[in-house]
Structure 1
Amino acid sequence: MRCDYFDAGACQSCTLMGQPYAAQLAEKQASVAATLSAHVAGQAWAEAVPSRESHFRNKAKLVIGGSKAAPTVGILDAAGHGIDLRGCGLYEPGLATVVESLPALLADAGLTPYDVPTRQGELKHVLLTHSPDGELMARVVLRSPGQRRRVTGLVDAVRARADLPRLRVASINLQPAHAAVLEGPEEELLTDEATLPMRVGEVILHLGTRSFFQTNTAVATALYGQVAAWVADLAPSAVWDLYCGVGGFAVHVAAPGRAVTGVEVSAEAVRGARCSRADLGADTAAGLRFVAADATDHALAAPPQDRPDLVVVNPPRRGLGETLSRWLDSSGIPHVVYSSCASATLAEDLARMPAYRVRRARMFDMFPQTRHHEVAVLLSRR
């Protein structure tokens, strides 16, 4: 893949841009395997799951710069001025159309971009998520609530465009601080619909405005499918999905006669997960429940007789940490599936769990053109 923005030095986010994709994938696999070499034997690795080289991103996190008449959508330079990246080749086709159209829509709405050097203006970011069924979630991040009328006008303008994906969910997020923070604590929903359905294989997940979902829908589908296959082979009677988010792993491993508990600290994500549960067949959904709680607190509070046969964990980049990883090591739970976006912290957690050995491992190229990765491992007691 070639990128004019990268070649011109305007954006260097894709650090592997210009390298042949096969070489990228091989280098990434080798790097992840080297990081985990103390814990994962060579024969445990399955072939890496590749991605499309371009047009794979289902979300756009756009910094708004420039002026009211000529806004930019993309990133900021070192001086805090906007760099327009509306033609970025990473976005899915429907999402790319929205990003291309956004500067003109923002100008028509009369929203003034926030200028970092002078600390003036209102519009900070636009956060977009695009679904496989061609629907859109749009979150407009403002400095203060005074521009609500202009944002509702923007929502109406997007909905009036037949060439754009259907805008299903829209919101205003307030981020008043002068800080490099993407969003603030206050969110106002502007639409009747509160969640964006994301079709992942045969499953539909429901994303709220603050819900996390993988950036690459096709590779996320492969990740969920691989974990579901590992779990199916083991046929556990009870499963926990810790850090479950909107329930991706929990919904995929749910089965008639199996008790599955998803645990997530975000109440909004749990509401989305319960919507996903409602879409399942009655027999599959019967044993599936979701709890709004801290993953570590939930694990430590459960009496030994309530521990499951298998735990799926999908923690943030910082990993499980010492308390939860050491608890798992001493828990007696037969199997753990660990999905990680940072092999370095995965290696740290595996070092704290010597009671387990890695039986299976696979790298998923969720982020082509960069060194970022997703890796999943299946652990069993020695």
Structure 2
Amino acid sequence: MQCDYFDAGLCRSCTEMGIPYSAQLQSKEAHLRHQLSAFREITWLPSYASDESAFRNKAKMVVGGTVGSPTLGILDADGLGVDLRACGLCSPGLTQTLPAIAAFITAAGLTPYSVPERRGELKYVLVTESPDGELMLRFVLSGEAPLPRLRQHLAALQHELPDAVVVSANIHPEHKATLEGEQEILLTERSSLPMRLDGLTLHLRTRSFFQTNTAVARELYRQGSDWVREVGPATLWDLYCGVGGFALHSARALADGDAGHPRITGIEMSEEAIASAQLSADEAGLRGLEFAAGDATAFVRDAEEQPEMVIVNPPRRGLGAELCALLDQSPTRHVLYSSCNAVTLAKDLARMPGLEPIRVRLMDMFPQSHHYETMVLLRRRNL
């Protein structure tokens, strides 16, 4: 992939830009094998390669410049806006929205937030595209004062972007390097973006997480479903379940088999994500599913019964010592671990000596960077 912004030195976010994609993938495979070198009995499945460009379903744009000439992209070393509207990582559906969003900023008189001066109204624009081409737009504001202007010009924006079915304002008054605040104000009737994957609809609300690469997310759930179907558990937990991707696909995979409807529980801290997951389960008519908001470690610690299988999809910090110990000491027969950080993955696997990793697959969710996703199937030793 060639990038004019990278070549001009305007953006260095893509640390692997300019390296042939085949070489990037080989480097990631070598890194993963090194991290998991202590585990000798692993079967390595073929890596899943992504398109090397136009794969992102989400654009996180810092707003800079002026009201009359806003920039959408990143900030330079001096805190000034660098416009990246033609970023080659974003899907065509995303890049086509950005001129209309810039025009909306000007029409609504939204003052870009100046980091050096610590003043302004609009900090970020976050755009997500569904597999069907529908859009979620989120405007991250430093306060509520611009809301009347957003509402006044919203119809004109939706006229230019008719696929923008969910629009919201996030209020982030603090001056710190975080993407969003706690308060979200919907500006449209619809509150969730349907992410349809292989016949299942996952409902993405404004502050819910979804993988940034739709094609790889689809393969992630397919691989997970295959392993769950093979194991055939009667009871399953999906920890850090988000909007329920693994739980929902697992429920469908098991319902299609001979075991009938298993009992599946999804746990996630975000109440918004849990509401989305339950809605998806109800719409799909999947039985035996229960979702609850809570801390994964506390849930496992306090549970009276343990399931036959556990799926974990933690943040980059991994599971941590306590949760690993709880899983290692439990009677759970299989664990499916989906990781976005091979270093913490290796540490967690070493903390669970009673479970042996038997299959590994690299999923390249993030071309042009050194990041990738890993799926591992673990089995209780001496089964």
Whether TM-score is above 0.5 comes out as yes
Aligned counterpart, 2:16 = 16
CA distances 1:170-198 after superposition (whole Å, capped 9, x unpaired): 11111111111111111111111111100
Secondary structure in 1 aligned to 2:96? helix
Alignment partner of 1:227 out of 198, 207, 224: 224
Alignment partner of 1:275 out of 249, 274, 279: 279
CA distances 1:273-296 after superposition (whole Å, capped 9, x unpaired): 011102213xxx111111111111
Q: How does 1:1-382 map to 2 (within 5 A)?
A: 1-39=1-39, 41=41, 44-161=43-160, 164=161, 166-254=163-251, 255=255, 256-281=260-285, 285-303=286-304, 306-382=305-381
Tell me how far 1:145 sits from its aligned partner: 0.3
Secondary structure in 2 aligned to 1:369? coil
CA distances 1:310-344 after superposition (whole Å, capped 9, x unpaired): 00000011000011001000001100000000000
State, as a whole percentage, how many aligned pairs show the same letter.
53
CA distance in 2, matches of 1:54, 1:201: 23
CA distance in 2, matches of 1:123, 1:286: 44
Tell me how far 1:265 sits from its aligned partner: 1.1
Q: 1:102 to 1:379 in 2, by over 3 A?
A: same
CA distance in 2, matches of 1:367, 1:165: 29
CA distance in 2, matches of 1:88, 1:165: 22
CA distance in 2, matches of 1:138, 1:372: 26
CA distances 1:81-125 after superposition (whole Å, capped 9, x unpaired): 000000101111111101243222211221110111111211100
CA distance in 2, matches of 1:101, 1:53: 26
Conservation of the 8 A alpha-carbon contact between 1:315 and 1:340 = yes
Range moving further from structure 2, 321-330 or 89-98: 89-98
Tell me how far 1:40 sits from its aligned partner: 5.5
Secondary structure in 1 aligned to 2:224? helix
Conservation of the 8 A alpha-carbon contact between 2:100 and 2:157 = no
Report the count of equivalent residues.
Answer: 374
CA distance in 2, matches of 1:46, 1:127: 35
- 2:121 alignment partner AA: E
Secondary structure in 1 aligned to 2:111? coil
Q: 1:153 to 1:7 in 2, by over 3 A?
A: farther
Tell me how far 1:165 sits from its aligned partner: 5.4
Range moving further from structure 2, 92-101 or 229-238: 92-101
- 1:259 alignment partner AA: R
CA distances 1:159-218 after superposition (whole Å, capped 9, x unpaired): 102xx3511111111111111111111111111111110012221100111100000000
Conservation of the 8 A alpha-carbon contact between 1:94 and 1:165 = no
CA distance in 2, matches of 1:257, 1:178: 49
TM-score (norm 2): 0.96
Structure 1 unmatched ranges of 5 or more:
none
Conservation of the 8 A alpha-carbon contact between 1:132 and 1:199 = yes
TM-score (norm 1): 0.96
CA distance in 1, matches of 2:45, 2:222: 14
Secondary structure in 2 aligned to 1:272? helix
CA distance in 2, matches of 1:195, 1:291: 19
Conservation of the 8 A alpha-carbon contact between 1:310 and 1:334 = yes
CA distance in 2, matches of 1:96, 1:133: 16
How well do the aligned residues superpose, as a CA RMSD in angstroms? 1.1
CA distance in 1, matches of 2:128, 2:280: 18
CA distances 1:14-39 after superposition (whole Å, capped 9, x unpaired): 11111111111111111111111113
- 2:18 alignment partner AA: G
Structure 2 unmatched ranges of 5 or more:
none
Structure 1 consecutive aligned stretches of length 4 or more whose deviation exceeds 4 Å: none
